[in-house]
Amino acid sequence: MRLRAWGTVAQGAAVWALALALAWSLPGALWRPVPPPPFPVHALLPAVLALGALALAAPLLAWLGGPDLATRRPLALLEAPPDLLWAGVLLACWPAAWGPPGQGGWLVAFLAAALPGEVRWLSAALPGEVPFPAAWGSEVVRRARRLALARLVSRWLAARLPIWLTASLVLERMLGVPGLGMDWMERVAGRDRAGLAAWVAALALLWLLSRSLEVEAVA
Amino acid sequence: MKWRLVFLLALVLPDLPLDPFHGGLAASLWHPLGVDDLGRDALLRLLLAGARSVGFASACALLALGLALLLAWRGRRWRGALSALRSLPPVLFLLPLAAALGGIGIAALLLLLGLLLAPHLEPPLRVKLDTIRRSPAWAAERTLGATPASTLRRWGPWALDQAAVLFPSAWLGALWGEATLSTLGLGPGPSHDSLGRLLLEQLPRLATDPSPLGWGALVVVLGLAWSASKPPAEKRTALSRG
């Protein structure tokens, strides 16, 4: 069993090593070399706030709605439009007198784009409630949901963090807000191979840390 | 699923001719959504771009589902590699590639998106296939000496039905993947008109300089999202019974 776990880690490590090699060997060069962009430290706080809001709101809504929420069509409809459409709708509705949407608008668009999908992810992962614990009353149902969500949340965070980074990139680009996603893109444009490799290494570390949670889910 | 496959034909349709001397016309009886800056009828452009995007997404979803079915069937030993591939954000992976190659052509994008979507579709398919593999019917077939060909003949239609349930999510993933890359300026070149290019052009103008084409593109995208969010038939039946 332990040997098999090491085997899966070795396979994953090979994939990440390949990604690292690709980042290091990114072809092309700038006509006029420029220093690599500094890491956007100022974007860390908004990103942490956005992730914190998502990490609180999604489990709360899943707890309130339960597993039935996963089959609701309105939620599926909210989940279907891509992040770029939410950014476009925000731009269309944003009053010009208020100036550019900025970080506040970005946070609204990010939550609108990410929240429905995450609530559905969590609701779909909750165990069924019919006939039990539904027959034991609403208090037991709420407690069962809370216990299930407590086990799910860390795995959910580890599995979805890279996806949120992608959503963030599109929204940052459309709303003109510099952030973590734009940092990736600027490093690609500036051929900052070391910076890209550091990003890949960070994602690989995140994957490695989430391995124990995935093994638990499989077992 | 089937009506979306009809749009595969749109991949071979020719481009619209340009008429820059008659560009920027307002909506009229002959041009219900007006004419864009290059003199192309906006309604025709919207229909062609929408059909092409739907055709592209259908082809990509078919490829991804085929691969996912293969991985769910035979890819058990590659579980670690698949888990790592699922952790790679597809757009972040495609960005350096597009930058290195100076843009990704439509055929290469179809192949890449299919390859990147397949690991995400594999776990739900594997769960369904594992349920069958642990059933007494499966064990009885093995005991009676079923060959791979007979297994495929018996279970193939069932496996295709299971994959078809996942088609809308694969389709949406491909549709938005292409639109996102176009929005970031890294999709197929300007010769390939798509919903992504239309959104890129029109969405930022909606607040200040709205055009019927922009609103039309928005309605088409919301319509596609609505059609893909429909729950599968058996679920609706179960819900209506409940």
CATH of range B2-241; options 1.10.3720.10, 2.60.40.10, 3.30.1050.10, 1.10.287.3510: 1.10.3720.10
Rounded to a whole number of angstroms, the distance from the CA of A102 to the nearest CA of chain B is: 15
* Residue of chain B whose Cα is closest to the Cα of A208: B84
Q: Which of B53, B77, B78, B83 to mutate to test the interface with A (most CBs of A within 10 A)?
A: B83
CA dist list (Å): B50 to A140, B53, B175, B197, B225 = 49, 5, 10, 11, 13
Chain centre to alpha carbon of residue A153: 13
Low-confidence stretches of chain A (pLDDT < 50) are: 218-219
In the prediction, which pLDDT does B67 show?
Answer: 92
pLDDT digits (tens, 9 = 90+) for B69-114: 889 888 778 888 888 888 887 777 777 777 777 777 888 888 988 8
pLDDT per residue as tens digits for the range A59-93: 999 999 888 887 777 777 777 777 777 887 887 78
Q: What is the mean pLDDT of residues B166-171?
A: 82
Please provide the average confidence, as pLDDT, over all residues in chain B.
Answer: 79
Nearest to A88 among B81, B86, B203 (CB): B203
User: What is residue B236's predicted lDDT score, i.e. its pLDDT?
Assistant: 42
Predicted confidence at residue A213, as pLDDT, reads 62
Residues of B in contact with A166 (CB under 8 A): 89-92
Would you say residue B237 has pLDDT above 50?
no
Average pLDDT (B142-170) is 82
Nearest CA in chain A to B239: A71
Above pLDDT 90, what percent of chain B? 2
Give A166 or B141, the one with higher predicted confidence: B141
**Contact yes or no for B92 and A166 at CB 8 A:** yes
Interface mutation target, options A24, A30, A71, chain B, most CBs of B under 10 Å:
A71
B207 burial level (CB within 10 Å; 0-12, 13-18, 19+): middle
Residue tagged 């609204």 (tokens): A108
What count of Cα atoms within 13 Å lies in the side-chain half-sphere of residue A42?
A: 5
Distance from CA of B73 to the nearest CA of A (A): 17
Query: B230–A73: do the CB atoms touch at under 8 Å?
Result: yes
- Residue B99: list chain A partners with CB under 8 A: 26, 28, 188-189
Q: What's the pLDDT score for residue B133?
A: 80
Per residue in B191-232, pLDDT (tens digit) is 777 887 787 777 777 767 777 888 888 888 778 777 776 655
Which range has the top average pLDDT, B9-13, B40-44, B128-132? B40-44
**Residue A120 contacts by C-beta under 8 Å, 6 or more apart in sequence?**
A69, A70, A75, A76, A79
Q: Is B203 on the interface with A (CB under 8 A)?
A: yes
